[in-house]
A and B are shown apart, each in its own frame.
Chain A
Amino acid sequence: MKIWKKGSMDKTGSLSLLVVIGVIMAGLFAPLLAPHDPLAVQMSLRYAGPSWEYLLGNDQLGRCILSRLIYGIRPSVLAVLVVLLFSVLIGAVLGFAAGYFRGRIDTWIMRICDVVLSFPGYVMTLAIVGILGVGLENILIAFVLTKWAWFARVIRTSVLQYTEQDYIRFARATGMRHGQIIRRHVIPVTFADIAVVASSSIGAMILQISGFSFLGLGIQAPQAEWGMMLNEAREVMFTRPEMMLPPGMAIVIVVSAFHFLADSLQVALDPRLRQSGVQHDRQPEHKEVPVRL
């Protein structure tokens, strides 16, 4: 937190942050921002080009593409953030428990993490969608089920790193309660690691969700979702190539913004990286590489 105030984030980072915040806001206030009802069908405007009333034109059912793009932020981006929040919460609780208390709790939690992480995320997602049926909710459930273990691990590592430090040993020795120590001393410092890890996986998750929608396994009509909009556009890509542009650009811009943001956060929050003259990429702490679909 402090680091942002110091302004140590580079320009790309700040710009990305602005884009990300803007998109999140647009998603939250979609009903206020969207010029039209995203579901309003008007066959007379089928595939109409951009006009003053419909800035990005209309789709195959004459619905306003701009409004659908704005409402599409909800399943495409906000849903990912919610999933991330849940995974971080579960991961944080277990990671803190493991790293702070050590011993048998630690061993057990880490074993479970190993098992979950050895079950590839995409296969888990396909399995859950295959058995519970297609739909966005099932994909989100699968995401939470697979992502938490990764966070638990990262958080445990960073907790371990900090609990070894003298001031926490001291706090423990003075008889501070566990909860207090975790709240006052451990959470603030591990927060940086969580932020870096979380932000770096958002981009891949957004792409995955849109990939599943693209395959017809994700969100179902008529709800607007970027991957599905892209899929609908793909069906007419040679007769109306311009239809690919709005959802395609939206995905590229938002995902790159998250990538750049994660990169800047990593540099800004990791003192080791800041000191050395050239930017390093941190070696992955864990083998999990965000899976692209």
Chain B
Amino acid sequence: MGMYMIRRIVFAIPLLWAISLLTFVLINLSPMDPAVVVLQAQGVPVITDELIARTQQQLGLDQPFLVRYIHWMADCLQLNFGNSYITGQSVWLLLGPALVNTLRLTLVSAVSIIIVSVVLGVICALQAGRLLDRSMRMLAFILTAVPSYGLAALLIWYFSVRLDWLPTSGMESYRSYILPVLIITISYAGLYFRNVRSSMLSNLNKDYVLYGRASGLPERTITLHILRNSLQVAVSIFCMAIPIILGSTVVVENVFAWPGLGSLSVRAILSRDFPVIQAYVLILAVSFVIFNAISDMINAAINPKLRNGL
């Protein structure tokens, strides 16, 4: 296991490096000259070519690509992503709290997804092929086809305004979590519950179940055994879901005015706030890699067979 963890971590390093390089290249693709942008941010009224050249020199933009890349990397490692073009604040001070808020939403949603998909998956597996199973699966297909923003608007209207049970938006209390989490759960549980179901099904056909039944073990004991084995799938789904939800909360965050990375990134794009966009991309990609690595390790811990995969 130790070896596997080391291999997995070593494997993540070139990925992180590639991500940083890719992000850096992306910034350099930006149509705006960084020197001009900095001058604008300083509010210089008339920007002359000479001034641009001088600023480029000051910023080290005239240096070779590799040198600039190394400087940039060093800054990033110290969480220094520069200042926002719009507010002038440090990008990390903007992104840090937003990242925490998005992580909160992600974790709560992942828990909710896992509960819903395990419960539904087990029920459907036990009822496999019957009406309940078939209609559940059909419902899941249709629900996952509903655009989350449309669904969100309807649910806000019904639960928050008509019934006056929940807040319409923001992140004020635990009640603020209910609707966004519900929306994310509906979008994803439909996908994951099928995994739980099929793993249950394949367990049902396994020898130990057949043997147990044949030797007259009570059905409850057998079900418990199956459930325990399916727990593995549940944990692995949980781990897999976190990085995926982490970045796909964009729409939900925007609809619910959730003060997270998703809202921040869309606003940054619409205000062409490049330092924020850049840092957002880097931070999310890095968290994605980290969560993926953790999820692989947990999966490998549960299921030793996977350890040879790498």
Contact = CB atoms under 8 A, between A and B. Distances in A.
Contact of A283 (B199, B240, B288): B199
Secondary structure of the A contact surface, majority rule: helix
Given A119-B22, A238-B157, A130 B274 contact: yes
Contacts of A132: 29, 31
Contacts of A207: 145, 147-148
A237 interface: yes
A118 B266 contact: no
A159 B15 CA distance: 26
B247 A291 contact: yes
A134 B250 contact: no
A131 B277 contact: yes
A214 B157 contact: no
A210 B149 CA distance: 10
B81 interface: no
Contacts of A259: 141, 144-145
Interface residues of B, number: 59
A285 interface: no
Nearest to B233: A283
B258 interface: no
Interface stretch (B60-68, B169-177, B278-286): B278-286
Interface string A191-227: 0000000000001000100110011110000000001
Given A123-B285, A131-B26, A255 B145 contact: yes
A260 B195 CA distance: 16
Contact of B197 (A122, A131, A256, A281): A281
Contact of B142 (A126, A256, A277): A256
A40 interface: no
A291 B254 CA distance: 17
B30 interface: yes
Contacts of B288: 118-120, 123
A118 B292 contact: yes
B141 A126 contact: no
A283 B248 CA distance: 23
A276 to B, nearest CB: 8
A259 B36 CA distance: 48
A278 interface: yes
Contacts, number: 160
Nearest to B281: A127
B272 to A, nearest CB: 8
Interface string B249-269: 011001000000000011011
Interface stretch (B42-50, B84-92, B186-194, B216-224): B186-194
A85 to B, nearest CB: 22
Given A115-B18, A237-B153, A203 B145 contact: yes
A6 B281 CA distance: 48
Given A230-B147, A292-B187, A123 B284 contact: yes
A217 B247 contact: no
B148 A131 contact: no
A279 B284 contact: no
B128 A211 contact: no
Contact of A256 (B141, B251, B277): B141
Nearest to B15: A118
Interface in A229-279: 230-231, 234, 237-238, 244, 248, 251-253, 255-256, 259-260, 263, 277-279
A280 B145 contact: no
Contact of B247 (A123, A216, A251, A256): A123
B235 interface: no
Nearest to B204: A278
4 closest Cβ contacts across the A-B interface? A255-B145, A130-B277, A256-B145, A281-B198
6 contacts: A129-B269, A130-B272, A131-B29, A244-B150, A280-B201, A292-B187
Interface of B: 14-15, 18-19, 22-23, 26-27, 29-31, 128-129, 138, 141-142, 144-150, 153, 157, 187-188, 191, 194-195, 197-199, 201-202, 240-241, 243-244, 247-248, 250-251, 254, 265-266, 268-270, 272, 274, 277, 280-281, 284-285, 288-289, 292
Given A115-B14, A282-B198, 9 more contacts: A118-B288, A126-B277, A130-B281, A207-B145, A211-B251, A244-B153, A252-B146, A281-B197, A281-B198
Interface of A: 12, 114-115, 118-120, 122-123, 126-134, 203, 207, 210-211, 214-217, 227, 230-231, 234, 237-238, 244, 248, 251-253, 255-256, 259-260, 263, 277-284, 287, 289-293
